[in-house]
Structure 1
Amino acid sequence: RTILACRSRERGQAAVEEIQRATGNPNVLLRIVDISNMASVRRFAKQIQQEEKRLDILVNNAGVTGLPFSITSEGLEQTFATNYLGPFLLTNLLLDTMKGSAPARIVNVSSFRHVGGMVNVKHLAGEERPKNFDQCYSSTKLMNILFTNELARRLQATGVTANSLNPGIVRTEIMRHFNWLIRLLFSIASIFFTSAEEGAASTIYCAVSEEVADITGKYFDSDCRLVLPSAAARDPGLERKLWEESERLTGLTESGRM
């Protein structure tokens, strides 16, 4: 039984039907969630808890770039809410279900671009702006790794693992929010990129490979190899600082419950 969480019902349903045709598995379900909206995330998590007895694998793969600087109705910066805070909240809300399903795995999709990121907690609520789109996106991907590392530490001895990964340079629609010239250049260059199917290799590897069953708090590259992320992504002080601020902004208590 697989659940696909998506913001767009039309796109999500098309993806569900494609997966069902390719796998022959009819138990692929669509659930709607706006990952940038914490209220929507809470509703989605509650629905999953009510409908599902088990949750063996959770893959967080939300990623946008090129959005104009914008503050959501909940007081969060749009890109940081989508790429980082929404997945942070969702994961924490589903932890009890995953612990009850152990062994279970959490997989957070980051990017090689994390090396250009920085951790400024004032970016999360838009109190300060990143220099540009590139720094904004890169910073969210750095935060994905820091979050994963701290999560893995907190989940020790629970039977739930957490790892992050770089899928590589993948041919997707991620540049759709940029102007036409950048989209054109990206489209031309994309002939050298990997396909979406090939780009999913490291995600699938972390989610189901027996070789990763006992590995946690690590970072994998697009060839499914264990590698070291940037020095900033391995800073325990940053991990704790980011976690505490993320708890505050998403309304989590120390126990991880709302």
Structure 2
Amino acid sequence: MCIFIDCLLSPLIMWPATIGVGIYFLKEYMQGGKFTKDTDETGKVFIVTGANTGIGKETALEIARRGGTVYLACRDMNRCEKARKDIIKETNNQNIFSRELDLSSLDSIRKFVDGFKKEQPKLHVLINNAGVMRCPKTLTKDGYELQLGVNHIGHFLLTNLLLDVLKNSAPSRIVVVSSLAHARGSINVADLNSEKSYDEGLAYSQSKLANVLFTRELAKRLEGSGVTVNALHPGVVDTELARNWAFFQTNLVKFFLKPMIWPLLKTPKSGAQTSIYAALDPELKNISGLYFSDCKPKPVASGALDDKVAKFLWAESEKWTGLDKLEANN
């Protein structure tokens, strides 16, 4: 017995064990806030963009567990269909549907909305989750810088085209997945589409700031409608979002840096908690125009409080999506 205890107290065992326990508790701590309230979402209809993987899939999975009808809106239909089958298998909820939505194509967005409205008279929660990050200079099918085009413009059009259904389904919600990166962003009024110069990091931060500005401006426009809209930061999550970031594809990152920072990263399930909170928490029924992180309200960066820039961005977004012409004809 004494020999056994001496072995356990050996530095060769004690130090690795201590480090391992420390890493475990650090990893647990970094998972952040969790949404633990029980809710029944039976009879409610949800759309989650980018729901085939990562945060989006985990968000859809949790809503499905709670009985919600979920539309997985994705660009890659093979992966979307696989995610649908995975969610049905895990939850036994048959009301999970995979639908094609390419946020880099305004035509695809319109087609998705037309199809959805033919199937469903109601929409209780729209979760604008899909996104791209730090892409090489690329344009959408309509000629817009990809990060701003997908992260903001695509969701701008999608949301506006679904507002009539959301209003008819009130109380209803819109959830916008932004990022802490919005704090490093600025709206380049003179070169919004990055035609004169392009920096992939600045373009990403601009798109995430656009998410928060859009949320705050939309909240004002929806006052009294029964539809709320809030933005959030999911945390630093271990997902596929950085797949376009060349640095993260290097062997240095894959085999050295990533294992080093692994304890600091949230899992996709943990990263989805604030999205689930914003979508489902009963206490947020009448809360609109806020920004959340770790299932708590957090202040936004000063750039996200600029109402003049928010109105400029809204007007430009209407022009880019053709919504200004639609309003003029109504």
- Could you tell me the TM-score, scaled by structure 1's length? 0.93
CA distance in 1, matches of 2:270, 2:216: 26
Tell me how far 1:122 sits from its aligned partner: 5.1
Q: 3-state SS of the aligned residue for 2:215?
A: helix
Aligned pairs for 1:77-116 (under 5 A) are 77-116=145-184
Q: Percent identity of the aligned residues?
A: 39
Instruction: Name the residue aligned to 1:233.
Output: 304
Match of 1:150 among 192, 217, 234: 217
Aligned pairs for 1:5-154 (under 5 A) are 5-121=73-189, 123-130=191-198, 132-154=199-221
Instruction: Name the residue aligned to 1:193.
Output: 265
Greater helix share, structure number: 2
**1:176 aligned onto 2:243:** yes
Are the counterparts in 1 of residues 104 and 142 from structure 2 also a CA contact under 8 Å? Answer: no
Instruction: Name the residue aligned to 1:243.
Output: 314
* More deviation, 104-113/232-241: 232-241
Are the counterparts in 2 of residues 118 and 142 from structure 1 also a CA contact under 8 Å? Answer: yes
CA distance in 2, matches of 1:196, 1:108: 17
Instruction: Specify whether residues 257 and 243 from structure 1 end up closer, same or farther in structure 2 by C-alpha distance, changes over 3 A only.
Output: farther
Letter in 2 for 1:95: L
Letter in 1 for 2:80: G
Are the counterparts in 1 of residues 137 and 145 from structure 2 also a CA contact under 8 Å? Answer: yes
In structure 1, stretches of 5+ residues that fail to align are none
* More deviation, 200-209/9-18: 9-18
Deviation by residue 1:42-70 (Cα, 9 ceiling, x = unmatched): 11111111111100000001211132112
* More deviation, 248-257/90-99: 248-257
Tell me how far 1:186 sits from its aligned partner: 6.2
Instruction: Name the residue aligned to 1:213.
Output: 285
Tell me how far 1:202 sits from its aligned partner: 0.3
**1:164 aligned onto 2:231:** yes
Letter in 2 for 1:168: G
Q: 3-state SS of the aligned residue for 2:170?
A: coil
Deviation by residue 1:132-174 (Cα, 9 ceiling, x = unmatched): 2221111111100000000010000000000000000111011
Q: 3-state SS of the aligned residue for 2:244?
A: coil
Instruction: Specify whether residues 83 and 183 from structure 1 end up closer, same or farther in structure 2 by C-alpha distance, changes over 3 A only.
Output: farther
CA distance in 1, matches of 2:315, 2:96: 35
Tell me how far 1:187 sits from its aligned partner: 3.4
Tell me how far 1:28 sits from its aligned partner: 0.3
CA distance in 1, matches of 2:160, 2:115: 15
Are the counterparts in 2 of residues 81 and 124 from structure 1 also a CA contact under 8 Å? Answer: no
CA distance in 2, matches of 1:226, 1:217: 11
Are the counterparts in 1 of residues 178 and 209 from structure 2 also a CA contact under 8 Å? Answer: yes
Letter in 1 for 2:316: E
Are the counterparts in 2 of residues 41 and 86 from structure 1 also a CA contact under 8 Å? Answer: yes
CA distance in 2, matches of 1:5, 1:247: 22
Letter in 1 for 2:277: Y
